[in-house]
Amino acid sequence: MPQSDTTTSIRIANPPRHVAIIMDGNNRWAKKRFLPGIAGHRAGVEAVRRVIEACGDNGVEVLTLFAFSSENWQRPEDEVRGLMGLFLQMLKKETRRLHKNQIRLRVLGDVSGFSEEIQQHIREAEALTAENSKVTLAIAANYGGQGDITQAAQQLATKVKAGELEPEQITPQLLQEHLYTADLPLPDLCIRTGGDYRISNFMLWQFAYAELYFTPALWPDFGAPQLREALLDFSGRQRRYGKSSEQIEG
């Protein structure tokens, strides 16, 4: 989508509190340049930096990035190894920068699937940035929407078995409070880069009323102008939550 020169001067009315992004296109970006796949993922890290800054500039409170799905372990071993190395490098090198810029870091997903070294750096990064309040950056890693709902259901089942909860006391709100995202507002906007039109097992429960935005831009090419275009598109939509337009407008 082309970006006009005047777009950056337009004030965004009611920006989304929580933006979730499916960062797709790193490998295709690299292939177009005859580079190894890991080069695309490294370029994707630069895009992450740009988008974090742009979220702060545009009033977005929470940015969630789908970095590594629970299904991504099935990718070629070399690629998985490279991604794990890049994740560890990011935790080591970027945490201080995030803290300096008042960014809070959260990692969503089954972190027990990572090496002990990565788990330790996750704990340290989350602890260091816990009190920061400019933007919350949530990294979904070893995350899947079906798995998220399953682990929440297992927690509730354990409470029922222990006699702490009756089955009829289980409500949608209670289940939501046991998801990985329990301490975050629900996503308002989901952006997927790379041109595909699917959500790939990402935040299946949380996206119940999220607005979806798809762009052909490959993730390493995504930045502040592209984010702002998505936010402007979002601001022009009417969110009805099952009600009619007349009820909302009234």
pLDDT average, residue stretch 208-215? 98
What are the tens digits of pLDDT across the range 218-243? 999 999 999 999 999 999 998 887 87
Tell me which of 5, 14, 24, 27 is the catalytic residue.
Answer: 24
Catalytic annotation on 24? yes
pLDDT average, residue stretch 182-193? 98
Calculate the average pLDDT of the chain: 93
C-alpha span between 12 and 33 (Å, rounded): 35
Domains in the chain and their CATH numbers?
A: 14-144+184-234 (3.40.1180.10)
Tell me which of 72, 101, 132, 201 is the catalytic residue.
Answer: 72
C-alpha span between 150 and 159 (Å, rounded): 14
Does residue 161 carry a pLDDT above 60?
A: yes
What are the tens digits of pLDDT across the range 15-53? 999 999 999 999 999 999 999 989 999 999 999 999 999
pLDDT of residue 149: 98
The separation between CA 1 and the C-alpha centre of its own chain, rounded to angstroms, equals: 22
Q: pLDDT class for 1, splitting at 50, 70, 90?
A: very low
Residue 26 · residue 219 · CB < 8 Å? yes
**Percent of the chain beyond pLDDT 70?**
96
pLDDT of residue 249: 78
Q: Is 189 left (phi over 0), alpha (psi -120 to 50) or beta?
A: beta
pLDDT average, residue stretch 92-112? 96
pLDDT average, residue stretch 133-151? 97
pLDDT of residue 9: 53
Catalytic annotation on 132? no
Distance set, CA 54 to CA 51, 196, 229 (Å): 5, 23, 12
pLDDT of residue 192: 98
Asked whether the whole model's pTM tops 0.85, one would answer: yes
